[in-house]
C-alpha cells in the first residue's frame, strides 16, 4: 500500500512540476486555443498536490497535538504502537521502524538513539505490567541482535517486572516517564 501511495505521489509531483512550468512559462508558447483546457487542468493539479502535502504534514506532525493521557488510554494496541513511534521520534530517537502486528518476537518498535539500537515493547495497560513484557522484549532484543531493550507503557510495572528488568538491563518507561515524554509533543 505504501509503495502505491509513493508512486501516486511521485506521479502527482511530476504533474505538478509540469503544471507549474506551464503556468509560469508555457502559456506564452502554447497555442491560445489550448488555454481553455490547460489552465483549469494545471490549476487542479497544483491544488491537488497542495492538499496532498497539507494532509501529509498534518498526519506527520500534528495528528497527536495536545493529546491527553486519557485519550492515549483509550487507544487500541496498534494505534498505541504508532503513537509510541511518533513519541519516540519527538524524543530524539531516529531510524524508527514499527514491526508487524503479529509475530514481532516481542519487539514492537526498533529505534536508534545516540548510536544505540533499541527494541521497544509498547504496552497499553490499565493495570500493572508484569514480567511477561520484560521477557518478551528481552527475547526480541536477542532475536533482532539489538543493543538495548525498553518496555514503554502508559501504566506502571509490577515489583517483579522491575526486579527482572534490573537484572536483565531492560529499561522501563512507566506512566510518569511517559508523561514527561509527552511534553515534547507539539502544542
The C-alpha cell 543493543 sits at 147
Predicted pLDDT of residue 59: 78
Q: What is the pLDDT of residues 59-106, one digit of tens each?
A: 777 777 777 788 888 888 888 998 999 999 989 999 999 887 666 688
Q: What is the pLDDT of residues 93-108, one digit of tens each?
A: 999 998 876 666 889 9
What are the cell numbers at 28? 506564452
Query: Strand, helix or coil at 65?
Result: coil
What are the cell numbers at 131? 514480567
CA dihedral angle for residue 99, residue 103, residue 106, residue 109, rounded to 10 degrees: 0
- Adjacent-strand bridge partners of 173: 152
Amino acid at each position: 500500500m505504501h509503495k502505491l501511495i509513493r508512486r501516486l505521489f511521485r506521479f502527482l509531483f511530476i504533474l505538478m512540476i509540469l503544471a507549474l512550468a506551464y503556468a509560469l512559462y508555457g502559456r506564452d508558447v502554447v497555442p491560445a486555443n489550448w488555454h481553455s483546457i490547460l489552465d483549469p487542468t494545471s490549476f487542479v493539479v497544483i491544488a491537488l498536490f497542495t492538499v496532498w502535502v497539507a494532509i501529509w504534514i498534518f498526519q506527520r506532525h500534528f495528528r497527536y497535538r495536545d493529546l491527553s493521557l486519557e485519550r492515549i488510554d483509550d487507544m487500541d494496541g496498534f494505534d498505541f504502537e504508532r503513537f509510541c513511534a511518533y513519541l519516540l521520534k519527538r524524543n530524539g530517537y531516529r531510524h524508527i521502524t514499527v514491526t508487524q502486528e503479529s509475530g514481532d518476537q516481542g519487539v514492537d518498535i526498533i529505534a536508534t538513539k545516540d548510536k544505540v539500537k533499541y527494541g521497544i515493547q509498547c504496552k497499553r495497560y490499565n493495570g500493572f505490567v508484569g514480567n511477561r513484557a520484560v521477557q518478551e522484549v528481552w527475547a526480541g532484543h536477542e532475536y533482532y541482535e539489538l543493543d538495548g531493550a525498553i518496555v514503554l507503557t502508559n501504566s506502571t510495572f509490577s515489583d517483579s517486572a522491575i526486579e527482572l528488568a534490573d537484572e536483565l538491563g531492560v529499561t522501563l518507561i512507566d506512566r510518569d516517564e511517559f508523561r514527561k515524554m509527552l511534553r515534547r509533543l507539539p502544542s
